[in-house]
Amino acid sequence: MFSAIATSMESASKQMENAINRVTSDLIGSQDDTVVNCKLRIQEGFRRAYSAKQEYEKEGLVITEAGEGEWLEIQAGSVSSLTACTYGACDSESDSLDVMRKLEQDLLSGKKIRVSNDTMGGDPKPGTRKVLRIWYRPASDIITAATQEGKELQLPSHAAEGILSATYGSGDVQQDVMIVLQAALLSANGKPLTVTNDLLGGDPLPGSAKTLTVKYDPTRTRLAFKLQTARELATFGLIAPWLFKAQRSACGLSLDDYFHSLTNEDLSGGEKQASGKSGEIFWFTADKRYVLKTIPDAEVATLVKMLPEYTAYLNSNPDSMLTRYLGVYSLEDNGRTTQFVVMNNIFEGSPTLDVMYDLKGTTEDRWVDPEPGKCLKDNNFAESTVYCDDATAAAIHSAIISDTKFLEKQGIMDYSLMMALSYDPSFTPTCHRYSKLIGGIRGLEAKGVSDETVSECIIFIGMVDMLVTYGWKKVAAHNIKAITIGWKEEIDTVAPDRYAARFREHFGLKIRGKSEQVNVTMVSPADFETPMPAMGRSGGTAAFFKVTYKDGVSIPEAKQSKAYWIGKDLARAKDEVAFYEAAKGLQGAAGWELLKWMTPYMGVCRADCHVVQGKPPQLVDVMLLRNGRDGYTTCRMLDIKMGQVTAVAGWQGKSAVSAWLQANTVDALTNSSGQGFRLEGFDSPPEALMSYQDFLTHGDVASLAAGAKKVRRFCLQNLKASQFISFFLDLHGTSSSSYAKAKGKATSSAAPEPESGRLSQVETQELVLLSCIEELSHFLAACRKAPAPQQWIGSSVMLCFDSGSRPAREVLTRGSRAWGCARVHIFDWGRSELNTAAMHARLEDDKKAERQKYWGYYCGAVAMLLYDCCNLYVRRFWHAKESLALTVWDKDKDFMPDTFVGLCTVPLAETGEEQTLVDWKGGSVKSGMLRTTQSSLAITVKPRQLDADSRLRDCWTVKVHGASNLPCKDALSPNDSFAEVAAFPEEAAAVLGSLDDADAQHHIRVGAHVTTLAEDRAVPVWEEEFEIATLEEGARMPFYKALSTALGIEGSGFSPTALEAQVEQLFPCHPSKAPCSSEAARLQVQFVGACLPGLELPKTLSSMSLVDA
């Protein structure tokens, strides 16, 4: 339904835009036949113009003509002296009458003269249309003309190009109407105009009498000539000839050279562009140096107004890629006026062009069905990138930046970059008449996201169609499209500043230096067993395939493991392969140490794969990535999506509606908005977590509405780091629990003894967590040194280890960062960019700020994740434990907060006694209708001997057997109970005495060990055993080093004593000293700020809290 509505809205948008076009259409659309067949008259006009221009430039004379039956008027005061006045046939001067004496007084006084035989005193050539020609020298004084509202405009109809300023209003309230007035005069074609609000585009002061005040330079007059036709006389006009003389001079063009091309041979063309929407008509000079294009009145006015600044800009920017406008002309024929511009042909000197593009850097309506000779558009060019040498690419980017800023200043948008490619490598570009960048550049065209198809080519480029302002028509179109099709693609009608910024950003990526070229590393399938079996999908999109080396393959990876790589279907990962290839080229370069944590990538292998079970194998391009499960019995893996924003409208193809939905649902309602990251995936989770997810998907409202899979995922996305890291480390046995019995997994055998020569459960947990802390610390330090801020949207950090077997004890001899107990990688680059210093320098200031903002989000998220890992490490292992706190909770559905049942605090000493449960204030917890039966928790606490080489000491096992006589917290069913176990460096009485405070109640839950959930059990049974131990003081150095790396403390600044104080301050462990929620948040902010000095961090960081109900 949504798609149907969108299609309907888009159709309505197109209809409205067409209606706007019809309302404001110029005469070109209704006179195609006239215009197409008028090139002979155009060239005759150029010949007349050439002759007149010679007189004007050599003698300073202006020629004005009017045909028989027309009126002629010269503004009073605009003439210095009359030189000649003749009346005769259009195509002959031989029989003309000299009417100088007859008309001189009237002309100098500004009187209108009706051109007729009677007025001129005779008919010099009966049977033909005659023309009055006047030669005069213009006056140099500026003329000011004021016309009241409702009166006829006191300005010559041909004065449009001479207007210096035009304001409309009364007193201090004045509206600039220069362009509107110029356009009106140009379209009036000599007809009188009345000053009205409608004519001038609005009423600046309703209810008051207004005046139009115009300053006019009479020397800037229009030249016009009469041309003989089979019907009426045609009029050929030169618009703003004095300005274009300066423009052609700046381009190094002489009058003779310019008009020779226009008149020497017939023009070609005279047709509309097949792929264009404007309906404009194009002609080409025979020598292919110039292009003639019809343009509407408003664009003529825009060009005339900006011409002085445009000429000055080109003088100071000789390598500009802007089209050189060299003249504007008009042809009035049979009552219809056509205006056209002459501009340089940016393809001058080119060989046969194989493909041509009109590019705007947008996607809306930018596809053309390819045909030979047809000009294509942006969506046709989507998978292409062109490369040239680095210096040329830098010059192009510099020119685009400068040119678009100039156009933005002029209020212009909707321009294009014309690009044509010739695949003839033998051609040598030599024609750089206007700019070293216009006239052909040798380069490469690469097609595909990863540049898999590369062709040598000659690139011809230039910027065209630079005369459209952001007027009411474009504003109306923008507003309509923004609410119809703007949600799914980038619309073309936007304000000049946005248009320019988008244009710069887009072509900064589509035109690049050869050093930035992506070359896909193709890997032969000969070393692998094929067909490759399917393994499943990631997030329901990208298919994965099992990659196995053949026996006897001798490369290092194959020797390490036959399953070293895993294959990811490139059809769903094209955006990633370019990132991986670019990263390969930067690995090892200064400042790019952070790429060491990127999932190792080999290349792309085209191999037979079992895509569909039971079907023949298909040839698939698979991306070879390091197999995170390789070497593990059971790979436990966390996929942590970094950044509080994981979708940005318009970024890497993300639509506005999709980004909005994700921002207001997934990002806003999960831990992304809390800690700046969220858990997106959890491979091989412990049974404790599985029991909670099973419970949440059994008939609750959320699972019925959204589906069990989405509820499980939402459960993960809402876990705080302290929770999911605790689950990540969970290795305790659950085979005798109520959950195991319900699932048919229960066994009566005792928990197995630790395997000889391997680490114990708690030793494995300590070393896995320490390994993650070490890698995250060094990764964070590498992020600080990145050469440029990155925009890694939706990228993930992976933590994984083997939860199916314990490490051999020999790992204890390896030392810091060499334990080999866990892996930390960064991955998922579908919406990420590898921003180099060179790329960053080309960005607009606002885009640089965006990169800085999102890099702050990413790095801040890494630092916050590291904080929770360190906090958990200190809680679990740092201090000698004196007591245990065991709490019992009732889990509620629909993500409601857990309900407290009761707790017990006991000294950390051997015991097997059943413990009575109390409430937060120490009062007894009882059950039954009269609350007379004492609730209890059965536990066993025993010391455990660790090996002499252990990094830990004072190891204890805590077994939670079950609970009895629990008060019922659910209205219609027994409790859904679970227990938490935490150890503290305080006496049991002190712990209990502090728990009447809500902050302390939360404090004892952070990092606690958690049992499975006993669903609907009046008497829950767990029989689950946990291990608790303390780190040897001599084993603290690796943590100190990791912490100092994260905080940027190096060299002589490193001090274990000072770091000990930092640990005590940043990671409080004592319930009696539990920080309040705001203080806990402040500690996290302090840590993140210390890790990332100078980096702009998320503004929401200060409001983020560790507290989670």
Q: What is the pLDDT of residue 49?
A: 80
Q: What is the pLDDT of residue 487?
A: 44
- As a whole number of angstroms, the distance between CA 260 and CA 291 comes to 14
**Do residues 886 and 903 touch, judged by C-beta distance below 8 A?**
yes
CA 1067 remoteness from chain centre: 38
Residues written for the chain:
1109
Q: In the β-sheet with 97-98, what is the strand arrangement from edge to edge?
A: 62-67, 130-138, 79-89, 97-98
Looking up tokens 């030392």, which residue turns up?
815
Q: What is the 3-state secondary structure (H, E, C) of 530-559?
A: CCECEEEEECCCEEEEECCECCCCCCHHHH
**Do residues 533 and 520 touch, judged by C-beta distance below 8 A?**
no
Angle among Cα 24, 29, 34 to the nearest 5 degrees reads 140
Strand partners, 639: 681, 798
Q: String of b and e for 976-998 (b: at least 16 CB within 10 Å)?
A: bbbbbbbbbbbebeebbbbbeee
Q: What is the pLDDT of residue 180?
A: 83
Q: What is the largest CA-CA distance in the chain?
A: 134
Give helix then strand counts, H and E, for the chain.
29, 48
Q: Which residues of the chain have pLDDT under 50?
A: 1-33, 35-36, 275, 487-489, 538-540, 749, 1102-1109
Which value, in Å, is the radius of gyration of the alpha carbons in the chain?
Answer: 40
**Do residues 19 and 265 touch, judged by C-beta distance below 8 A?**
no
pTM of the model: 0.70
Q: What is the pLDDT of residue 655?
A: 61
Helix, strand or coil, per DSSP, at residue 141: coil
Of 705, 750, 727, 725, nearest in space to 1013 by CA: 727
**Do residues 409 and 497 touch, judged by C-beta distance below 8 A?**
no
Q: What is the 3-state secondary structure (H, E, C) of 187-228?
A: HHCCCCCECCCCCCCCCCCCCCCCEEEEEECCCCCCEEEEEC
Strand partners, 885: 905, 982
Q: Is 1013 left (phi over 0), alpha (psi -120 to 50) or beta?
A: beta
Looking up tokens 């995170």, which residue turns up?
628
- Residue 27's Cβ-count burial label (10 Å; 0-12, 13-18, 19+) is middle
Q: What is the DSSP letter of 1098?
A: P
What tokens were used for 952?
């830990």
Amino acid at 592: W
Strand partners, 955: 944
Angle among Cα 39, 43, 44 to the nearest 5 degrees reads 115
Q: What is the pLDDT of residue 1103?
A: 46
Spatial CB neighbours of 707, under 8 Å, sequence gap ≥ 6: none
**Do residues 148 and 213 touch, judged by C-beta distance below 8 A?**
no
Q: What is the DSSP letter of 1016?
A: T
Of 1029, 985, 953, 954, nearest in space to 762 by CA: 1029
- Residue 186's Cβ-count burial label (10 Å; 0-12, 13-18, 19+) is buried
What tokens were used for 896?
């409601």
Q: What confidence tens digit (pLDDT) does each residue in 529-544 have?
A: 999 999 865 444 678 9
